[in-house]
Structure 1
């Protein structure tokens, strides 16, 4: 499956592609529709994305196998490819099914060991990026760990590095402490700081955009970046004041508050057509290395 890129920090604002995928994930995913370029430009304009940037993003996403074009008369419509749908479904699952807190960890860890030639800098970068996306952290040189059962074979399959990888699953034994693994492999202070920053941003009066649809896009894009970079560490081994729970509660409250009005606004602006049946599920072109390259969704 495809993997999202490292999006910009909240301080610099989300990339147009991140916002566009959020919009498509909420209002297009699973509906068998293609949306006009004009609709996309209108929606992204509500959060400060210029028409030029929106058009450029659409073109890049087509080139990466994330969108496909459908012309009808003088208008151009864009539909999700299976690649993009997979990205968006993963984001939906992380937000609404997995949640921000790992409350039912079974004590298991997935371990990935690797040894790559020094000259393989790109391959090393790709592997580390993909492991980070999969919730792994570096325990020591050449050994990364993730809490729970992670399908490392599927996560790393398309990198072509199987001969250089060793994958295990197991538990921590004495004299090693779980807390030491968590503290060594993961920057919990940085993760907590991101959740606290989210709480500070979205607790302020007037946070978001001028309308519900724009505010929904900003909120969901911001939150999705957090949960996609959170390794989902076991709550029992985190500080008692871990801010992820409070941040999630705020996200749900705000999301519910925006939802109905945002849906009405989207219905007013969306110009859509049904995706031709012959193209649904058609394999799309693309690199299959989005995360490692740090350039693709969302």
Structure 2
């Protein structure tokens, strides 16, 4: 949830927040001060955020690594249309020694996050242009001696979609999207009516928008973002993306107003010129 608040709010308001403000925001979800402090401490140890002191206040901000991850996530979350495909396949193969098992496990998690599919043991593929991401991972985990990376054509004997069937559980992903649609389409209609009648407070909109983004971003770990040519003709991911966009816009203004009220009371006002940068976050003030 803290990741979601940083990604959807804080990074657009100067990327820095007083811990007291973060505690106030998380209290809206029923989290207490101790749990927030423990989570923030864990995120610091993992290298996602860092801190600085101003007087007797501690402020927390995303590290360059954290910012990169948030930017990548935002592009994927708010993307409505599939990527254009260059008909190429990216293939990463590795043979990492057993004494480096932890590195191997971390690399697998990163590959799943980036959208790679497990074609076979120690062989990961993607139709998306992920050369930059692969190079970053190879350098980050220092696995240069153990990996080989290819950009290639598939020459058969089957169709390209057969590689998808072997590498990703599309039916499971489709079912998760259907579950999301069933849950949030009903909530969208209810909240649309409540907002029209003035029955939903800014704080409640903040909670609902944050929960919406928090749930939708989970698809980053399961949906590889395949090009249209490799997807089924009817793909629930398209419908879920449109529902997410409409629901987000419904809650956006009131949710931002609540966040800004908390933020203004406790933090530096230098965020004013940054909060509504359409290039960074096209939906934030819509």
| Length-normalised TM-score, structure 1 | 0.78
User: For structure 1, which runs of at least 5 residues remain unmatched after alignment?
Assistant: 1-18, 276-298
Residue 230 (structure 1) aligns with: 223
| Length-normalised TM-score, structure 2 | 0.81
Rounded to whole Å, the distance in 2 between the matches of 1:79 and 1:273 is 13
- Find out whether 1:127 has 2:107 as its counterpart: yes
Residue 198 (structure 1) aligns with: 180
Residues 199-208 or 40-49, more deviating: 199-208
Residues 74 and 159 (structure 1 numbering): CA distance in 2 closer, same or farther, change over 3 Å?
closer
- Find out whether 1:145 has 2:140 as its counterpart: no
Residue 114 (structure 1) aligns with: 94
Q: CA deviation at 1:23?
A: 1.2
Contact 1:34 1:70 in 2 (8 A): no
Residues 75-84 or 49-58, more deviating: 75-84
**1:2-151 mapped onto 2 (5 Å cutoff):** 19-32=1-14, 34-96=16-78, 99=79, 101-151=81-131
Residue 273 (structure 1) aligns with: 268
Residue 243 (structure 1) aligns with: 236
Rounded to whole Å, the distance in 2 between the matches of 1:116 and 1:65 is 24
Which structure: greater helix fraction? Answer: 2
Q: CA deviation at 1:118?
A: 4.4
CA displacement 1:19-63 (0-9 Å, x = unmatched): 112212222214435322221111112122222211211222233
For the aligned residue pairs, the C-alpha RMSD in angstroms reads 2.3
| Alignment: residue pair count | 255
Higher RCO structure (Cα 8 Å, ≥6 apart) = 1
Residues 189 and 100 (structure 1 numbering): CA distance in 2 closer, same or farther, change over 3 Å?
farther
Runs of 4+ in 1 over 6 A off after TM superposition: 207-210
Contact 1:130 1:156 in 2 (8 A): no
Q: CA deviation at 1:173?
A: 1.1
Match of 1:22, SS? helix
